[in-house]
Amino acid sequence: MTPILHEGATVVCPHAPGTTQAVASSTRVRVDGSAAVTITHAWTVTGCSFTPTAGRCSVGSFTSGASRVRVEGQPVATTQSDSKCSVRATDKLTAQVTQTRVMVDWP
């Protein structure tokens, strides 16, 4: 079982201290009092310390979600979901702190 991500979850890029904020979330479904996040929602990244010529992480997204749980027709993002950052496809977002009341089977 893995937790569903929500609007207030602590999600980071791999380049400390890059933190993220969900750009949008479900207006209809709440998880432990916060809006649920699906794989269609983007995450803005601030504070990324990566400094190549390609630039820093600015946006990230989750690319896979729960196979059986959907919000507004889209799979919910979980702590085990695959993800990517805007700079390199190999850079992944990581959920560090999230709610633990609503869990889903993975995958």
Better-scored residue on pLDDT, 93 or 106:
93
Whether pLDDT at 2 is above 90: yes
Tell me what the mean pLDDT of segment 11-23 comes to: 90
Residue-wise pLDDT for 40-70, tens only, equals 999 999 999 887 777 788 899 999 999 999 9
- For 20-46, how does the pLDDT look when each residue is reduced to its tens digit (9 = 90+)? 999 888 889 999 899 999 999 999 999
For residue 81, what pLDDT band results from cuts at 50, 70 and 90?
very high
Contacts with 54 (C-beta within 8 Å, 6 or more apart), sequence order = 87, 88
Instruction: Please compute the mean of the pLDDT values over residues 85-104 and round it to a whole number.
Output: 88
User: What percent of the chain clears pLDDT 70, i.e. is strictly above it?
Assistant: 100
Given phi > 0 = left and psi -120 to 50 = alpha, else beta, which region is 40? alpha
Beta bridge partners of 84: 61
Mean pLDDT for 65-90 is 91
